[in-house]
Amino acid sequence: MPPEMLLEVSSEDGVEAITAFVNSKAVNDVTAALTAVLTTRRRGVGVRPAQTIDEETLLRSSGTGDEAEVLRLLSDPAANPNAHIWSGYTPLHMASTHMHKAVAEVLLWSGADVAAQDTLGHTPLHRACQRAGCTEIVKLLLKAGSDVEARSHGSWTPLLLASREGLVEVVEVLLGERAEVDARSKDGWTPLHLASKNGFSEVVKLLLQAGANVEATGKNGWTPLHLASKNGFSEVVKLLLQAGANVEAVSKGLASTPLHVASTWGHTWVVEVLMGAGADAKAECKALMGEARQLASSKGGEGGRKGMTPLDLAQYYRRAEVVALLSGKGRKRGGI
C-alpha cells in the first residue's frame, strides 16, 4: 500500500490500518509506516483524523507506547513532535522515560529535539538514564546526537544520574561515549560519590576503571569513602580502599573520618574493614549533635581532649557491637 493511500483511509479504520502497517519491513530497517509519515510530512499530505491534532494525545500516546496513534498524529504536517506540557516534557521525554524505543524512533525521524529540556533542565537522555532497563533507549538517543555532557539545572549529567541509580549497562555505555567520569553536581558530588553512597559496587568498579578520582570531595568535604562508610556498604569500602582511598580523610566542619561516621551509624563490618586498613581509632572529631557535644565537653579534661573519638561516638549512640570492637573486646571478622 503506498504511503499516501495508507494515510487517506477513513477515520474509522485508520488506526487499524496503520497498526497492521507498523510491523511491515522496509529498506534499511526503517518501517514502511515510518516512511509513510516522513513522506506525508514532507509533501503536506494529511489524514482525516477523528478530531484536530491533539498535542496532549500525542504526549500521552508517546508515554503509553501507542506507536500506531503516534504515527497517525504525526502523519499530519501540522503536528508538532516537540509539543510540551507544563512540566516541559515533550513526546520524546515521555517515550524515553517509559522506555518505548519504537515510539522514540518515530519521534526522532519526525524531528523531535533530543536537546529539549523540561522544567528541571532534563533532556530525554537525562530521563532515560534514571530508569532500569533503559539501555537501548540511551543508545538510540546518543546515536541521534544527544549530548552526553548535557547539564540539568542542578548541574546533573546523564552519568551522574545513571551512577546514582546503579544502572551498570548505562554507565558502561556513557563511559564508552567518553562521558566525564568526574563530572560534579551543584553540590559537588561526582558519579563515584553517588554510586558509593548507594552501594552500587559494580558501578563503582566501572568508574574506578575509568579513572574516577577516589579522593574527590563534595561541598562538605566528604569523600566517596565517607558516604559508603555512613551507609554501611563494606564491599564498596573495600573497593575504594583498594583503589587508594585515604582512610583518614577528614570532612569539613566536623572533621570526621570515615571511621567516625561508621561508628556513629553502627556499621560493625565497615568499622572492621577501616581498622584493618589502619584507621586511627583515637582520632578526634567535633561532636555530631548537641547532646554529643555536651559529652565531648565533659571529656575535655581527659588528656586535653576537645573532640570525640570513634569509641565515644559508638558509646553515645549505643552501638554495642562497635563499642566492643573498638575497645578490643569484639571478634574481628575480616579486613580488606
Give yes or no for residue 17 having a pLDDT over 50. Answer: no
Provide mean pLDDT across the span 15-40: 48
Asked if residue 166 belongs to a domain, the reply is no
Look at residues 147, 174, 197 and tell me which one is the last residue of a structural domain: 147
Asked if residue 117 belongs to a domain, the reply is yes
Q: Are residues 125 and 246 in the same domain?
A: no
What residues make up the domain containing 229? 214-336
Domain count, the chain: 2
Contacts of 301 by beta carbon, 8 Å cutoff, 6+ apart: none
Asked if residue 329 belongs to a domain, the reply is yes
The conformational region for residue 221 under phi > 0 = left, psi -120 to 50 = alpha, else beta, is: left
Confidence of residue 331 (pLDDT cuts 50, 70, 90): low
Provide mean pLDDT across the span 94-118: 96
How crowded is the C-beta side of 221, counted as CA atoms within 13 Å? 12
Look over the chain and give the mean of its residue pLDDT values, rounded to a whole number: 85
Q: What is the pLDDT of residues 156-169, one digit of tens each?
A: 999 999 999 999 99
Distance CA 49, CA 65 (A): 19
Asked if residue 314 belongs to a domain, the reply is yes
Q: Which of 41-45, 48-52, 209-213, 252-256 bottoms out in mean pLDDT, i.e. has the lowest?
A: 48-52
- Give the pLDDT of residue 295: 64
The CATH number that applies at residue 124 is: 1.25.40.20
Q: Which of 39-43, 116-120, 206-210, 297-301 bottoms out in mean pLDDT, i.e. has the lowest?
A: 39-43
- Give the pLDDT of residue 253: 86
Asked if residue 168 belongs to a domain, the reply is no
Which DSSP helix (H) or strand (E) runs through 32?
A: helix 32-43
Look at residues 147, 174, 191 and tell me which one is the last residue of a structural domain: 147
Give yes or no for residue 10 having a pLDDT over 50. Answer: no
Give the pTM: 0.83
Asked if residue 165 belongs to a domain, the reply is no
Look at residues 103, 119, 147 and tell me which one is the last residue of a structural domain: 147
Confidence of residue 43 (pLDDT cuts 50, 70, 90): very low
- Give the pLDDT of residue 149: 98
- Give the pLDDT of residue 328: 86
